[in-house]
């Protein structure tokens, strides 16, 4: 894939040094946590941690010494985890976070084999099969995905966060459209995501200059939902994820699809999609429960079915 630069080219976040514990089920707040046992034959399992806690799939990038820059193997592992979350009826929300001072410094190509002679079409194919597949995996995940951004999110790492449905940022976090610094065109869906979040002129400003955007400014621009003190990132991510996990899972999935598709649809297509989604959703047990609880004046008990 076109390189989001290596960690050495990205300034470190201003947050506290040292390991940041993942905002996941290492400290479960009630209920049970299922931590996937590491596969000794696959070292990538130690670089992308995974556990399920009370219906929430916690996916944690765990390569802090490299600012969590993604290798090809890690990228594929992450795509697989998101696909598993979509298919698992017991998973009702996803949190994507990281350890250390960086959320993700982009793609790490240092371990990639030499490409040799370049043939026309190779780079485009690499982008489609790599960075774009990763961003599509987040956008197409059938469960709501929260990014808990603990530090620097640069290049593909920024786009990975911004593709999530909700973005929480620690005060020490920052976002960098770093491609221009290396003479590169943004990849990983950046030119698609940013104009839809903050408009074309603001998007061009970030992409043309490549300046670091601190968390507070990112919130002002509309790139993130909320900025919290570093020490509260894990707690807030857990609270938001648990609220989503207790909701009507299929209705949330259909709502996500409607919102994402509306950005590329005309009114007629958007209205038709809305009617179809409501038709599909009314076949779910949660929709029946929602209506019944309203009539009976009680709180609904959704089961994600």
pLDDT in tens, the chain (305 residues): 344 444 333 333 333 333 444 445 544 334 445 555 554 455 778 999 999 999 999 999 999 999 999 999 999 999 999 999 999 999 999 999 999 999 999 998 775 555 567 788 888 888 899 999 999 999 999 999 999 999 999 999 999 999 999 999 999 999 999 999 989 999 999 999 999 999 999 999 999 999 999 999 999 999 999 999 999 999 999 999 999 999 999 999 999 999 999 999 999 999 999 999 999 999 999 999 999 999 999 999 999 99
Q: What DSSP element (H or E) covers 58?
A: strand 56-61
Each as own residue / partner, the long-range contacts of residues 42-50 (CB below 8 Å, 24 or more positions apart, any chain) are 44/73, 44/74, 44/77, 45/77, 47/71, 47/74, 47/77, 48/74, 48/77, 48/78, 48/81, 49/22, 49/24, 50/81
User: Which residue is it, tokens 């009539």?
Assistant: 295
Helix pair 200-209, 190-198: axis angle to 10 deg: 130
Residue-level pLDDT at 13: 37
pLDDT of residue 37: 54
For tokens 């690499």, name the residue. 126
Please give the distance of CA 265 from its chain centroid, rounded to a whole number: 23
Strand-pair category, 166-170 with 226-228: parallel
> In whole angstroms, how far apart are CA 279 and each of 198, 203, 251, 275?
32, 36, 11, 6
Amino acid 14: pLDDT = 36
pLDDT score, position 26:
46
Q: What is the DSSP letter of 44?
A: G
Q: pTM for the complete prediction?
A: 0.85
pLDDT at 1 (0 to 100) = 39
Q: What does the pLDDT read at residue 112?
A: 56
Question: Residue 19 has what pLDDT?
Answer: 40
DSSP conformational letter for 300 = -
């Amino acid at each position: 894939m076109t390189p989001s630069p290596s960690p050495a080219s990205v300034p470190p976040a201003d947050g506290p040094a040292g390991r940041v514990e993942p905002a996941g089920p290492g400290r479960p707040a009630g209920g049970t946590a299922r931590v996937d046992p590491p596969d000794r034959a696959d070292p990538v399992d130690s670089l992308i941690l995974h556990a399920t806690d009370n219906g929430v799939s916690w996916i944690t990038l765990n390569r802090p010494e490299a600012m969590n820059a993604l290798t090809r193997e890690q990228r594929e592992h992450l795509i697989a985890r998101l696909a598993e979350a979509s298919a698992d009826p017991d998973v009702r929300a996803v949190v994507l976070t990281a350890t250390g001072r960086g959320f993700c410094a982009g793609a790490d190509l240092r371990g990639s084999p030499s490409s040799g002679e370049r043939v026309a079409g190779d780079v485009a194919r690499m982008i489609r099969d790599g960075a774009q597949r990763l961003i599509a995996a987040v956008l197409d995940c059938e469960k709501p995905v929260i990014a808990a951004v603990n530090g620097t999110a640069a290049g593909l790492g920024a786009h990975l966060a911004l593709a999530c449905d909700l973005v929480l940022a620690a005060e020490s976090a920052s976002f960098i459209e770093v491609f221009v610094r290396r003479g590169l065109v943004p990849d990983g869906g950046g030119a698609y995501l940013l104009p839809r979040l903050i408009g074309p002129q603001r998007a061009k400003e970030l992409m043309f200059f490549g300046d670091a955007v601190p968390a507070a400014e990112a919130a002002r621009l509309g790139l993130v939902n909320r900025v919290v003190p570093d020490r509260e990132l894990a707690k807030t991510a857990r609270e938001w994820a648990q609220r989503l996990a207790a909701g009507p899972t299929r209705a949330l999935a259909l709502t996500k699809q409607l919102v994402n598709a509306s950005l590329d649809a005309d009114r007629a297509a958007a209205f038709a999609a809305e009617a179809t989604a409501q038709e599909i959703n009314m076949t779910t047990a949660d929709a029946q429960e929602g209506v019944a609880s309203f009539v009976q004046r009680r709180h609904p008990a959704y089961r994600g079915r």
